[in-house]
Amino acid sequence: MAIPPPAQHDAGEETGLPAPFAAAVYVPRQPRGDALGEFVRELKALGVKVGGLLQEVVRNPDGSRDRIDTIDIATGNRVVINQTTPATLKSHLCSLDTAALAETTQVLRRAVADNARLIIVEKFGHQEAEGEGLAADILDVIASGVPMLVAVPETSFDAWQDRTGGLGVRLGFDLGAFRDWWAGIEGGY
């Protein structure tokens, strides 16, 4: 299925429509592939200005997880937000680097300021469910009116609904769902 070309209007233009945003819901700890990354590549190939954050699990040579990088979609810059250490392994503590996570908030603000047509965030985890991490920035994007697609684990979907007032769309975590949603946004935007 081909993705429609982008509509011509400024991201901040008043359209009278509610802010189009969706939760791409997935089951934690199950492989979900690179559907968001593929979607981003398809849209960019069509000239759609996409901003936001993707995540990549970086593995050690033995296949174990080394770290999680957050990737700025617009620039390709990476920030390590979660790196397992011997201490966190032994204590079973979370190894999220909240300072590094805070650094990624600039990416979302810049995407809005740069008039991205779509902002994708592959991060709505425990921090966001508790109102921390990127939660405020995600809500700021919603308020800006820029279309946004956020990866949300099934276990955090109720918190997502609470944070967004039950608005937005729930999608399955697959490329076809993303394409169909985007086609609906572009057709009505």
Query: Is-contact 178 120, C-beta < 8 A?
Result: no
Q: Which CATH number fits domain 21-188: 3.40.50.300, 1.10.10.10, 3.40.50.620, 3.30.420.40?
A: 3.40.50.300
What contacts 24+ positions apart, CB below 8 Å, involve 106-110? 107/51, 107/52, 107/53, 107/72, 107/73, 107/74, 108/51, 108/52, 108/53, 108/134, 108/137, 108/138, 108/140, 108/141, 109/137, 109/140, 110/51, 110/74
Instruction: Note the pTM of the prediction, 2 decimals.
Output: 0.80
Give residue 11's pLDDT.
Answer: 36
| Per-residue model confidence as pLDDT tens digits over 135-186 | 999 999 999 999 999 999 999 999 999 999 999 999 999 999 999 999 988 8
Give residue 83's pLDDT.
Answer: 62
Q: Which residues of the chain have pLDDT under 70?
A: 1-19, 83-101, 187-189
Task: Return d(Cα 82, Cα 99) in angstroms, integer.
Answer: 11
Give residue 86's pLDDT.
Answer: 55
Query: Is-contact 56 71, C-beta < 8 A?
Result: yes
Query: Is-contact 41 109, C-beta < 8 A?
Result: no
Give residue 128's pLDDT.
Answer: 86
